[in-house]
Amino acid sequence: MAKKQLDDYIQEGIYGAKETNPDERRRYLGSLRERVVLALKKTEIRGKKGLYELEEAMRQYPDATMLMNGNMSVRFFKPYRDAAKKHHISYTSVTNRDAKTTYGIILAMDNAIDKKNIHIKHETQRKRKDKKSWWQKLFGL
């Protein structure tokens, strides 16, 4: 074995196999951004938001896989797991104690789809635009 190959072999044995974009993979629960169909944040999952959008994405991408953050409590994932079973989507829990991510669920494909918007639109943002202040209501503006 050449010196370079031997060093690579030892490094791989110590640190694991080399992977592309390790920071991106940690952020998206082992997947890459270009493969993500929908990303739900931990706070959205705790509030049971995004379930409808997740089911719509599951209908559009029946070959997708749902990745759940293993650092969160399992009880938050029940409605999302039920939706995955209903649409015959495989799901798995990804636990990486070293990775810090804001995402709780990632719906991803095996190949790149480069979807532009992977987040759900927040209802609170929509409500704020539609909500009038008390003086606007009073004067009918």
- Pick the more confident residue, 123 or 7: 7
User: How, if at all, do strands 103-108 and 65-69 pair?
Assistant: antiparallel
**pLDDT-wise least confident of 50-59, 92-101, 124-133:** 124-133
pLDDT (tens digit, 9 = 90+) per residue, 87-106?
999 999 999 877 889 999 99
Q: Give how far Cα 47 sits from Cα of 37, 42, 43, 83, Å.
A: 20, 9, 6, 16
Q: Kindly report the CATH class assigned to 32-119.
A: alpha beta
Listing DSSP states for 107-136 in one string gives EE-SS----S--SPPPHHHHHHHHPPPHHH
Q: Tokens for 87, please give them.
A: 């649409």
Q: Round the average pLDDT of the chain to a whole number and report it.
A: 87
Name the β-bridge partners of 26. Answer: none
Distances in Å between the Cα of 121 and the Cα atoms of 34, 44, 47, 49, 115 are: 20, 11, 14, 10, 15
For residue 123, the model assigns a pLDDT of 57
The answer to whether the beta carbons of residues 83 and 51 sit under 8 Å apart is yes
pLDDT score of 39 = 96
Domain segments of the chain: what residues? 32-119
Q: Which amino acid is it at 5? A: Q
pLDDT at 1: 60
What's the pLDDT score for residue 141?
Answer: 63
CA-wise closest residue to 117 among 56, 22, 42, 33: 33
pLDDT in tens, 55-89: 999 999 999 999 999 999 999 999 999 999 999 99
